[in-house]
Amino acid sequence: MAIDWETLTKQVKEANDIVDVIGGYLTLHPNGGKFKGLCPFHDDHRPSMVVDPQWQNFRCWACGKFGDVFTFIQERERVDFREARELLARRAGISLEKIVDSPQNRSRAYMLDVMRWADEQYQRCLHELQLAETARRYVAERHLEPETVRRFGLGFSPLSGDWLVQEAAKAKIVPDVLEQVGLIARRREGPGYFDRFRDRLMFPIRNVRGQTVGFGGRILPSSPFSSRAPKYYNSADTPLFSKSEQLYGLDLARQAGSTAGYLAVVEGYTDVMMAHQRGVAQVVATLGTALNARHVQQLRRFAPRVVLVFDGDAAGAKGVDRAVELFVGNDVDLAVARLPDGLDPCDLLAQQGPEPFQQALAGAVDALHFKLDQVLNDPAAAGIEGRRRAVDEVLGLIALAPDSADQTGQLKRELIVGRIARRLGIQEVTLWARLRELRERSKGRESSPGTMPVTEGETPQPASSPRQAPAAPHERELLEVLLAEPGLVATAVAELRPDQVEHPGLRKLLEALFALHAAGQTPDVDRLRDLIDNPRLIEHALRMQEKGRAEPDRSAWLSQLLAEFHRVRELRRKQALQDQLQAAADHQAAVELLRRLQDHGEVRFR
């Protein structure tokens, strides 16, 4: 009998008792109806992890890790939710062959199939077709061996502009899907489509499971477009691909990174390929964007340390400053390695072999140490005023990093300030006072891309959003009650719109719950995991679910919350009318506004 993914998730969870699963990884001892053991997610010397068989969850009181059986497998095996579900399904002997996909999952699977097909066509073009001869010569000039080229799936998109379109027609592939995944586009004038990649080496960009989700294209130096087209061109963001989240080579580097204890981040595709070719496999690259918190979270799944590699003449302030902010605001050991002047990783590895590159990686220093050296060795830092500006420059970066209310984040910040105090010979109390001033000054400004840390009173925020205050209590409690009792989502749908929730993280969860309800699916945490690929946000949803379960009369609680949303909505309407009334220059408009205010209740004048 066929089943769908929702049913599978429930079956897998029911078939994998959390005590049995975690007990297979570590020794658990009974403790008052629960079980305790040494937490595998930090250096635990006395049992800090508690496993609750009643609610089928775990919690570490030392490092703060929390979740269910899926979360544990994701963290322990360094896999995403779908992979964790597959591992647990196999553990329970549940077959995946009879699953009926939803239209959404079928669409995604078809898009992945199309990307795999395109990947094969580009590779066939590079290796077999005469029109790729120039491309083959260029690859050889880059000292990339055939085995490396094959392993990374390097391909070629010809100059003609409609080569892939024609190949797709032969294969009876629907153009709309090729357009959806960013490989072709509609012509502005006239019917038909054109290839978005022309006369470019094609670097397939794969997710951690090795599936091609996008491409990076490098224009050939001999191309007639080379003088007016960008040197590198990435796929546009699609349902499969986001260049601000993806990392090139992570699928091939993850195991080496786990073994080495760190992953190194470089800038270019060929830098990654040459590093792997020379035996330094723990290397990945961003896709033309600065390293951000989402990248760090991905890397952190496979290694506790991230080494950011700067070209010798490109270790500029912007890259280092971003590294410091990420170092301060994230649970990661982020270090900086600097190469000899004038050489990028590919050139260094090709000309001098792996030893100098490996030495640079081994000599990497943490981002704060690197920044302190940078500012203090600057001639401008000489003298009292120069030293003061140097202090402000470093503290200013710490002020930009998201604050953290958990003990780990606070301890890290205290250690950072203590190190700065010792290095500069300044009292810690003075530095803390100046840091508070700088943080106040930075409030209201846009944050750099990243995700706010998860704490009990806050929700992670999407990257590139302005910093937000902690969620309003009625917004947080709304998610607590809905996650604890999915049957109440229907009541909330009838009374609320997602845009009435201001906090972006909570709004994203609410939108997903409403979407599941509209699709006739159970709006619970397990189903959310198929819609939201953000482990920290899902972890926070599990925490809110646990808090919601502690309230016995959740229906009455929801009624009170809906009344509070109505009250807040009315207050905002009144305030908006008050503001318009204060600014009204036309008498008739003022009278109409006054009438509308009276309809809403008391009129207030400032």
d(CA 207, CA 204): 10
Could you read off the pLDDT of 130-182 as tens digits, one per residue? 999 999 999 999 999 999 999 999 999 999 989 999 999 999 998 989 998 99
- Flag whether 114 is in a domain: yes
pLDDT score for 368: 85
Q: Are residues 325 and 421 in the same domain?
A: yes
How many CA atoms, within 13 angstroms, populate the side-chain half-sphere of residue 391?
A: 23
Task: Please say whether the beta carbons of 276 and 151 come within 8 A.
Answer: yes
Question: What is the sign of the dihedral through the CA atoms of 278, 279, 281 and 282?
Answer: negative
H helices within 5-102, ranges in order? Answer: 5-15, 18-23, 69-77, 81-91
pLDDT score for 51: 96
Could you read off the pLDDT of 524-568 as tens digits, one per residue? 998 888 778 778 889 899 999 999 998 889 999 999 999 999 888
Q: Are residues 318 and 362 in the same domain?
A: yes
Q: Is the pLDDT of residue 203 over 90?
A: yes
Task: Please say whether the beta carbons of 310 and 348 come within 8 A.
Answer: no
Q: How many helices (H) and strands (E) does the chain have?
A: 26, 18
CATH for 112: 3.90.980.10
Range in 363-367, 396-400, 460-464, 584-588 the model is least confident about: 460-464
The C-alpha R_g of the chain, in whole angstroms, comes to 27
Could you read off the pLDDT of 112-136 as tens digits, one per residue? 899 999 999 999 999 999 999 999 9
Ranked by mean pLDDT, which of 240-244, 356-360, 568-572 comes out on top? 356-360
Adjacent-strand bridge partners of 36:
29, 50
Paired sense of beta strands 305-310 and 333-338, if any: parallel
pLDDT score for 403: 64
Question: What is the end-to-end Cα distance of the chain in Å, rounded?
Answer: 68
Q: What are the tokens at 591?
A: 């009278």
Those residues whose C-beta lies under 8 Å from the C-beta of residue 446, and which sit 6 or more positions away, are: 466, 467
Amino acid residing at 424: L
pLDDT score for 603: 40
Could you read off the pLDDT of 365-407 as tens digits, one per residue? 888 888 888 877 777 767 788 778 878 888 888 887 766 545 6
- Flag whether 282 is in a domain: yes
Backbone angles phi, psi at 150, to 5 degrees: -70, -40
Could you read off the pLDDT of 230-285 as tens digits, one per residue? 999 998 888 888 888 899 999 999 989 989 999 999 989 999 999 999 999 999 99
Q: What is the mean pLDDT of residues 191-205?
A: 94
CATH for 391: 3.40.1360.10
**102 vs 476, which has greater pLDDT?**
476
Average pLDDT, the chain: 84
Q: Are residues 508 and 521 in the same domain?
A: yes
**606 vs 317, which has greater pLDDT?**
317
CATH for 548: 1.10.860.10
Q: Are residues 600 and 561 in the same domain?
A: yes
> At which of 422, 450, 478 does a domain end?
450
**448 vs 266, which has greater pLDDT?**
266
Q: Is the pLDDT of residue 202 over 80?
A: yes
Q: Are residues 271 and 341 in the same domain?
A: yes
Q: Are residues 158 and 68 in the same domain?
A: no
d(CA 268, CA 585): 59
CATH for 14: 3.90.580.10
pLDDT score for 553: 92
Residue with tokens 């497998």: 73
- Flag whether 240 is in a domain: no
d(CA 53, CA 60): 15
- Flag whether 244 is in a domain: no
pLDDT score for 582: 62
Q: Are residues 511 and 471 in the same domain?
A: yes
Q: Are residues 208 and 294 in the same domain?
A: no
- Flag whether 248 is in a domain: no
Reduced DSSP (H G I as helix, E B as strand, rest coil) percent helix, strand, coil of the chain, to 5 = 55, 10, 35
- What string of DSSP letters covers 153-220? T-EEE-SSS-HHHHHHHHTT--HHHHHHTTSEEE-SSSSSEEES--SEEEEEEE-TTS-EEEEEEEE-
Give the pLDDT band (50/70/90) at residue 99: low
> Looking at the 3D structure of the chain, how many domains does it have?
4
> At which of 99, 125, 156 does a domain end?
99
- Flag whether 241 is in a domain: no
Q: What is the mean pLDDT of residues 462-482?
A: 71
Q: What are the tokens at 118?
A: 């395109």
Q: Are residues 185 and 264 in the same domain?
A: no
Q: Are residues 575 and 502 in the same domain?
A: yes
pLDDT score for 604: 40
Q: Are residues 117 and 156 in the same domain?
A: yes
Q: Is the pLDDT of residue 463 over 70?
A: no
What's 231-294 look like in SS3? CEEECCCCCCCCCCCCCECHHHHHHHHHHHCEEEEECCHHHHHHHHHCCCCCEEECCCCCCCHH
d(CA 251, CA 589): 63
Backbone angles phi, psi at 70, to 5 degrees: -65, -45
Q: Which domain holds residue 65?
A: 3-99
Q: Are residues 415 and 320 in the same domain?
A: yes
Q: What is the mean pLDDT of residues 87-100?
A: 78
- Flag whether 590 is in a domain: yes
- Flag whether 239 is in a domain: no
pLDDT score for 384: 81
> At which of 52, 80, 99 does a domain end?
99
Range in 125-134, 445-454, 541-550, 584-593 the model is least confident about: 445-454
Those residues whose C-beta lies under 8 Å from the C-beta of residue 271, and which sit 6 or more positions away, are: 283, 285, 344, 345, 346
